[in-house]
Amino acid sequence: MAVAVFGIAAVGARVAVTVLRAPLDTRGTVTFDRELRIPALAESRVEDGVRVFDLTMQRGESDLGRGTATPTWGINGPHLAPTLRAARGEEVRVRVTNRLGEASTLHWHGMRLPARMDGGPHQMIEPGATWTPQWNIDQPAAGLWYHPHPHGETARHVYRGLAGMFLIDDDAESRLALPRRYGIDDLPMIVQDRRFHDDGTLDTSTSLFQSEGIIGDTVLVNGTPGPYVDVTTRTVRLRLLNGSNTRPYDFVFDDHREFSVIGTDSGLLPAPVPVRAVPLSPGERAEVVVTFRPGERVRLQSEPTPGGARFAGGSDHLEIAEFRAASDLGGVGTVPDRLVDVAPIPETAATVTRSFSLGGSTIDRKPMDMARIDEVVTAGATEIWSVANSGDAVHNFHIHDAAFQILDIDGDPPPRYLGGWKDTVWVPRDSTVRLIMTFAHHTDTEVPYMYHCHLLRHEDEGMMGQFLVVPPGTSTDPADYSARTGHHH
Ligand code: C2O
Ligand code: CU
Ligand code: CU
């Protein structure tokens, strides 16, 4: 049943993609006949006070609902990756072995850590090699994620299935009366769209006219097509991750119920924010708490996104997942009024303002160059980054190693649910978003961090730049530096 339904949708979408893509509407066409898969928590052990994880990037085959196995890539399994979990203050070491048969990297998206541990394009892992980054977790509780970042190949590596979540715990979060039983009332939701050929293989082709990259007609959550969730508690926490290459979502429930946003990319909000919809562009996360009534069924969907984003699939209506509440529900059914302290960074604290312009597939008309340093930041400095999208394409902006606050979007304060810590932000067409952040203290005068559009086709084409974080008193002129790459070909 599900196969037939997806098959028809796939044919329709493929035809539509080659002409200018007509909006897709999957409402009422998905049977929700598979239980949501929950990525395993990665095993770890503590050696000399360091929490050690072992990850192996590999190829495999997965049942993605096509009636036949789909070749996929995964970590410690055929598809996607285990959830890493560590507490603030812990020292972690990850041993990443590459058995893909081609070079890749593994980047800790949202993590504050030394540039050499970041897993960006300068930390290539050759086939058969093991890369072993180690760092101290020093940031608030949040749901981060990890994925490959090889320059020019990120879209392909992520699309094939390399992505997982990295949850950080801390005392402030653990004191709150929030659902936190992993896989029971605290659910990772890695939302990704995919397109398939009739033989079940992933379709990676994109139309000549499709500059945004791959847009799928089938939504997978944690690799599950048409998933349902058996709900056993009144409140459930969803850690929504837009892990798609291109597609933005605007998450709603089919009955348009209110739910609470409790956190965004890099941490919890000061207080829950009631909403009926939460938009996420690729790479962004939202933690939400939803309240269920006994015995009900409710579906999570995606509506056309604010600002259209038609060419990135933003005009589509999509089914995402069905929640099936038991007739007896446990738990209290409430959300705390107050969450954590988020001190706004005053604009006057900034000593440097930088401007970036996103257009075509470049930033400031310069395509990414691995050997060029674009910006040099002094460790500990507070800066404003003003990011403009001057064209009519869809872009967002992600900064490595930094957690920022949104000062304003076209001069207006952001909506309340965007009032906390972020590492990726939507930059709507014809608009300017101003971000403020205080950079951390890890310095390196040779290995840069990245900033880029997180639509992976754009990033691969060069909508990315590199910044160093250097010790105070060191030159901040990019001309004094060039990037030293650990990547020898
Ligand atoms: Cu999610 Cu530079 O990456
Ligand atoms: Cu990142
Ligand atoms: Cu872009």
CATH number of the domain enclosing 476: 2.60.40.420
Q: Is the CB of 247 under 6 A from ligand 1?
A: no
In this prediction, residue 14 carries a pLDDT of 37
Share above pLDDT 90 across residues of the chain, in percent, rounded to a whole number: 87
pLDDT for 4: 33
* Beta-sheet strand order (sheet of 382-389): 362-363, 352-359, 382-389, 431-438, 404-409
Q: Are residues 322 and 373 in the same domain?
A: no
Query: Any idea which ligand is nearest the CA of 458?
Result: 3
Residue 353 sits in the same domain as residue 463: yes
Is 264 in the same domain as 311?
yes
Shared domain for 288 and 219, answered yes or no, is yes
Instruction: Give the mean pLDDT of 300-323.
Output: 88
Dihedral over alpha carbons 249, 179, 177, 51 (to 10 degrees): -100
**94 in a structural domain:** yes
| Ligand 1 close to Cβ of residue 283 (< 6 A) | yes
For residue 452 and ligand 1, the question of a CB distance below 6 A is answered with yes
Whether residue 168 is found in the same domain as residue 193:
no
Q: Which atom of ligand 1 is nearest to the CA of 450?
A: 2
The domain in which residue 213 lies consists of 186-330
Of residues 489 and 111, more confidence is placed in 111
Q: Is residue 342 part of a domain?
A: no
Question: Same domain, yes or no, for 43 and 136?
Answer: yes
pLDDT band (50, 70, 90) for residue 306: confident
- In the structure, what pLDDT confidence band is assigned to residue 6 with cuts at 50, 70 and 90? very low
Lowest-confidence pick of 191-195, 202-206, 369-373: 202-206
Atom 3 of ligand 1, residue of closest alpha carbon: 109
SS3 for 202? strand
Do residues 164 and 198 share a domain? no
Query: Are 241 and 137 in a shared domain?
Result: no
Q: Tell me the ligand closest to 461's alpha carbon.
A: 3
Overall number of domains in the chain: 3
Ligand 1 atom nearest 109 alpha carbon: 1
Does residue 489 carry a pLDDT above 80?
Answer: no
Q: What is the pLDDT of residue 360?
A: 87
pLDDT of 208 reads 57
| DSSP structure class, residue 140 | -
Decide: 164 in ligand 1 pocket, CB within 6 A.
no
Average pLDDT for the chain = 93
Is 122's C-beta closer than 6 angstroms to any atom of ligand 1?
Answer: no
372 and 257 in a common domain: no
For 35, phi and psi rounded to 5 degrees? -70, 140
Q: Which pLDDT does position 484 carry in this prediction?
A: 79
Q: Which ligand is nearest to the CA of 283?
A: 1
Q: Which of 19-23, 138-142, 206-210 is most confident?
A: 138-142
Q: Based on the fold, state whether residues 393 and 448 are members of the same structural domain.
A: yes
- Identify the residue with better confidence: 484 or 123: 123
Single pTM value for the model: 0.94
Q: How far apart are the first and last CA of the chain?
A: 49
In sequence order, the 6+-apart residues with CB closer than 8 A to the CB of 372 are 366, 466, 478, 482, 483
Is residue 265 assigned to a domain? yes
